[in-house]
Amino acid sequence: MEPFLTHRRKLLLRRAITTDDKYILETRNLVHSFSENEVVLDDINLRVEQGSIYGFLGPNGAGKTTTLRLVLGLLKKQRGSIRVFGQKFDDNRVEILGRIGSLIESPSIYGHLTATENLKLLQKIYQCPKARIAEVLELVGLANTGKKKAGQFSLGMKQRLSIAIALLHSPTLLILDEPTNGLDPNGIIEIRELLRRLNGEHGITIVISSHLLSEIDKLVSHIGIINKGQMIFQGTLDDLKQKQQQSLSVVFETSDEAVTRALFVRSSLNASFKDGKFSMPALPKEQIARINRELVDGGVEVFEISVIKNDLETIFIDMVRD
Amino acid sequence: MMTFIHSFQSEWLKTKRSLAFWMVVIGGFFTPSIVIAARLFHYDKLQQIYSSDDFWNLLWKNSWESMALFFLPLGAILSTSLITQIEYKNNTWKQLHTLPLSFTTIFFAKLAVIVVLMLEFFALFNLGIYLSALVPYLLVSGTPYPAQPLPYMFFLQENALYFLDCLPIVALQYLISLKFKNFLVPVGLGFVFWVAALGALSWKYGYIIPYTYGMFNYLKDATQTRAVVPDVNVHLLAIGYFAIITAISYFLYITKKEKG
């Protein structure tokens, strides 16, 4: 009776986890440093919603990989907490890892073995059906590599094999650190399509890190931006687009800098001057027309009035530059 | 237990076509091949050798001379270091440590693979010894089949003792190679310990160096040697060293802050 109860309890627990918890992965106040003077992560609160594709963005060295390594238990946690599937990672490491597929930085494959052999040794651990090996190889386009050793693969093929490894046991959560590194544009598109399919058709939650927003903005539903070890933005892609709206600016180019500047000061407009042009946050079109009229009436020639619409990448770059 | 078996199977698959695997195969057959070549070269003495009442014991002693002093310790050093090097070389520690396995399972499954590889080394070496008796008999006409019956029990007992004696080398090399990414560190240190062991054979406290036990086992019956064979039971010492070093190694491994 006891084994049945244990199994039943596990099932109930799993159901509770998959239905009640909004966040499949959550870190609270995660702090990490490699030396006393160097804080690599400062108060990271990562919140990945179930069923989402979460883009984890940041420039190189921002702390993305360190965060993901902590989440996977590859680094000893110093401060904060990590919960995956609603469970504390520290207390349920083995059970949690059984439901995660991961790829951290460069490919992790045994070069002296074939693609099939690489998967076979993991199939032994996961005890998933042997047929999964052929399935995932087919999925990543490596079905015909035969007896070729993985060490002889191109970087792109190695990356695909790593993704196959991450998918082998049909994980619930996929953590991919820069998975498109080394892939050609076609390969990037294929991987993107594959991830979209895994998320859409199989409900797999995906955390994907990148240092380029443009690489993943068509794929993700949620975004977290980290810079210098601090989370500077976290929300849905729509939230970020909202920010994009807010970042619109108006540019004026005129024949007289002094008169134009005096007008802006009188109108309490916060304008900056660069490369012969004034720039300021977006204004109502009526106000733009009024300024134009006043400039012309004051004898100033207006060469250009334009609205600058920043793309998401520019916003991201602006965020990490600050 | 099943998890450990699966982990062991997985670790064993990694040795396929690996350098460690080839080390074991080549190392196991190296000395017997030399013995075969030497006997075929001096084929005129075969009848006398094979007629000896002490044929198998002499063959055993001849075969183990280079094995006990050189190839067994060096084989243990290299194969242990090469097994952990598989993970470093392929950048796969991080992959291994994100599998649903406890660190204890990973540690002991890998150690078990090394120990089984050593057993394979012994099995191949014994097969080699038998072949080194059989091949000259089959190839050189007029050579009689060895007169002495094969002393199975003696061989098994000696194998077991040599095996115990090499365990501290395996444990210490495992500790060092888990600690250092650079392959040269465990191999270099292993080589230094081996040279120190050779030098310590004539020292009355030489037995404190765990790399000497196989050598002492070989030299225990030697009449003309400068080695000081200790009165202590080196096999028990070997087991003790193995247990203590493995415990330290395990502690260092599970408390490691970065696991890939």
Q: Hey, which residues 71-100 in chain A have their CB within 8 Å of chain B?
A: 72-76, 93-95, 97-98, 100
Other beta carbons within 10 angstroms of residue A37's beta carbon come to 6
Q: A73 CA to chain B: closest CA distance, Å?
A: 7
Report chain B's C-alpha Rg in angstroms.
20
pLDDT at A270 over 70: yes
What does DSSP say about strands A79-84 and A47-49: parallel, antiparallel, or unpaired?
unpaired
A122 and chain B: CB distance < 8 Å anywhere? yes
d(C-alpha B117, C-alpha B167), whole Å: 12
Chain A residue numbers with beta carbons less than 8 Å from the beta carbon of B84 are none
Mutate to test the interface with A, among B99, B105, B255 (most CBs of A within 10 A): B99
- Amino acid A14: pLDDT: 47
For residue A322, what pLDDT band results from cuts at 50, 70 and 90? low
With a CB cutoff of 8 Å and minimum separation 6, the contacts of B31 are B63, B66, B67, B71, B125, B128
Which of B100, B256, B260 is opposite residue A97, by nearest beta carbon?
B100
Q: Does A120 contact B at CB distance below 8 Å?
A: yes
Among candidates B10, B18, B102 on the partner chain, residue whose Cβ is nearest the Cβ of A124: B10
pLDDT at A3 over 70: no
Identify from B19, B94, B255 which residue to disrupt to test chain A contact, counting A C-beta atoms within 10 A and taking the largest count.
Answer: B94
A83 φ, ψ (degrees, to nearest 5)? -125, 130
- CB contact under 8 Å between A110 and B91, yes or no, is no
Compare all CA atoms of chain A with the CA of B85 and give the residue at the minimum distance. Answer: A110
Measured between beta carbons, which residues in chain B are less than 8 angstroms from residue A111? 89-90
Q: What amino acid is encoded at B94 in this protein?
A: K
Query: Residue ranges of chain B with pLDDT lower than 50?
Result: none
Q: For chain B, report the end-to-end CA distance as a whole number of angstroms.
A: 25
Beta strands in A90-141 (DSSP E): 100-103
What pLDDT is attached to residue A308? 79
Average pLDDT estimate for A63-67: 94
Measure the CA dihedral B95/B99/B103/B106, to 10°.
Answer: -80
Q: Which amino acid is at A300?
A: V
Q: What is the pLDDT of residue A180?
A: 84
Averaged over A102-109, what is the pLDDT? 90
Min Cα separation A118/chain B (Å): 8
Q: What is the tally of helices (H) and strands (E) in chain A?
A: 12, 15
C-alpha to C-alpha distance for A253 and A305, rounded to whole angstroms = 7
Q: How confident is the model at residue A239 (pLDDT cuts 50, 70, 90)?
A: confident
CB contact under 8 A, B95 and A69: no
Pairing outcome for strands A79-84 and A87-88: antiparallel
Confidence category of residue A313, pLDDT binned at 50, 70, 90: confident
Phi, psi dihedral angles at A232 (to 5 degrees): -105, -15
Instruction: Give ipTM to 2 decimals.
Output: 0.87
Buried-exposed string A273-294: b where 16+ CB fall within 10 A, e elsewhere: eeeebbbbebbeeeeeeebeee
* Best mutation target, A65, A66, A69, A108, to test chain B (most B CBs within 10 A): A108
Alpha helices for A183-247 (secondary structure H): 185-202, 213-216, 237-246
A185-189, long-range: CB within 8 Å, 24+ apart, which pairs? A187/A156, A187/A159, A187/A160, A188/A215
| Beta-ladder partners of A82 | A27
CB atoms closer than 10 angstroms to residue A188: 17
Computed over every residue of chain A, the mean pLDDT equals 87
pLDDT of residue B252: 96
Nearest residue on chain A to B102, alpha-carbon basis: A94
A30-A32-A35 Cα angle (round to 5): 165
pTM: 0.84
Per CB-CB distance under 8 Å, the chain A contacts of B89 are 111
Is the CB of A125 less than 8 angstroms away from the CB of B86? no
State whether residue B226 is helix, strand or coil. coil
Q: Do A111 and B89 touch (CB under 8 A)?
A: yes
pLDDT of A274: 87
Neighbouring-strand partners of residue A83: A26, A88
**Sorting pLDDT into bands at 50, 70 and 90, what band is A321?**
low
Q: What is the C-alpha separation between B206 and B218, in angstroms, rounded?
A: 15
**More reliable by pLDDT, A116 or A183:** A116
Provide the edge-to-edge strand list for the sheet that holds A249-254: A272-274, A277-281, A249-254, A302-308
The rounded percent of chain A whose pLDDT value lies above 70 is 90
Least Cα distance to B109 among B5, B8, B205, B259 occurs for: B8
- Min CA distance, B238 vs chain A (Å)? 33
Q: Which two tokens stand for residue B159?
A: 């194998």
Condensed to tens digits (0 to 9), the pLDDT of residues A4-43 reads 334 444 444 444 444 446 899 999 999 999 888 888 999 9
Letter string b/e over residues B248-260, b meaning 16 or more CB atoms within 10 A of that residue's CB:
ebbeebeeeeebb
A122-154 pLDDT tens trace: 999 999 999 999 999 998 889 999 899 999 998
Tokens standing for B92? 């796969």
Give A167-207 pLDDT, tens digit per residue.
999 999 999 998 887 788 888 888 888 899 999 988 999 99
Residue B101 to residue A205: CA distance in whole angstroms: 22
